[in-house]
Amino acid sequence: MISDSDAQEILESRNLIAIGVRADDVRRRLHGTRTTFVRVFEMHVDAPAASCPSGTSAGEFRIVGRPASLDVAMAAVRAAIRIAGGVPVTGFSLVDLLALNGASSLAGACRALREAGLEAISEAPLDRLDDPGVAITAARGAGLGVPRLTVHELAPDDRVSLLNRARDLQNTVGGFHAFAPLPRSMSIAAPSTGYDDVKQIALARLIAENIQSIQVDWSLYGPKLAQFALTIGANDVDGVAAVDPGILGIRRSPIEEIRGNIRSAALEPVERNGRFEAIG
């Protein structure tokens, strides 16, 4: 574990190679060259799909968007279950469920979603939950998994504190398979740079050693940044496309592209599902 002063020094450093080597050492100590990825089929809560497009191969069906009501959320879960064919169905942000139902009824809402077939909450944003431990415990007590911690927006002053928060939550609450330290919402006024993003990945690996996987999102951050992130601390890739339209040929299919990118980084690709189980 590194100190806050060490972390701040890394943020201010321009020596990305040295930072990356240090984080990669931790990644390889924990995982060797093994690199997991998941193909995700996303379905908006307001537009449940009646069937899967041709060429769909997913390890996770994920419901995205903020539901207007618990009934809408449950209907989306049931629709996803009908077409998922046994593939894990996840969805929603804990923040949105809290806003929808209030802290006192979060457990009841989670129980209803679990009974509808939902397996896990897909987002637990550290920067938006006032008391993440309480919310996560309530969701898990209702039978839902909360396997990963996320970040919605990342203010420059919070870059280290959020990583410390993730580490501390794993110590107190536990049960997190992955931490995605890059924000899911980009600031238009002050966007981060690729340089900032990869340093955040490296710092996350160095600070949150107790969380099994540091995750980068393929669809949000693109193949190039995702591939580089795998060489400086990340070991799990989220959001690989589950639908192959078949117009670019076999070598450019999503599954071959992600496997090729991982292999070209001298790493071993392992496909997983939404339960973090290896499936290929």
51-68: pLDDT as tens digits: 998 889 999 999 999 999
Place of tokens 């809560």: 45
**Cβ neighbours, 10 Å, residue 18:** 12
- pLDDT band of residue 18 (cuts 50, 70, 90) is confident
SS3 content of the chain, % helix, strand, coil (to 5): 45, 20, 35
CA torsion, points 45, 47, 50, 51, in degrees to nearest 10? -80
Burial class for 104, CB neighbours closer than 10 Å (0-12, 13-18, 19+): exposed
Phi, psi of 89 (to 5 degrees): -105, 125
The yes-or-no verdict on residue 264 having pLDDT over 90 is yes
Q: What is the mean pLDDT of the chain?
A: 92
Residue 15: pLDDT band by 50, 70, 90 thresholds?
confident
Phi and psi, residue 44, nearest 5°: -75, 140
Instruction: Answer yes or no: is pLDDT of 101 > 80.
Output: no
The pLDDT assigned to 192 comes to: 74
User: Given pLDDT bands bounded at 50, 70 and 90, which one contains residue 247?
Assistant: low
Q: Indicate the pTM of the whole model.
A: 0.93
Give dist(CA 224, CA 230) in Å, integer: 10
CA distances for 57 relative to 53, 80, 83, 245, angstroms: 10, 14, 12, 11
32 pLDDT tier (thresholds 50, 70, 90): very high
- Domain 4-271 in CATH 3.30.390.50? The answer is no
Domain extents in the chain: 4-271
Both tokens assigned to 259: 């496997």
194 versus 32: which is more confidently predicted? Answer: 32
pLDDT of residue 2: 80
Q: Does the pLDDT at position 21 exceed 80?
A: yes
pLDDT of residue 249: 53
Per-residue tokens: 202: 């490296």
pLDDT of residue 278: 97
- Look up tokens 């637990």; give the residue: 124
pLDDT at 143: 97
pLDDT at 182: 97
Q: Round to whole Å and give the CA distance between 19 and 11.
A: 9
Task: Work out the average pLDDT over 152-178.
Answer: 94
Q: How confident is the model at residue 7 (pLDDT cuts 50, 70, 90)?
A: confident
Residue 211's pLDDT band, with cuts at 50, 70 and 90, is very high
Q: Per the structure block, which two tokens stand in for 21?
A: 């080597």
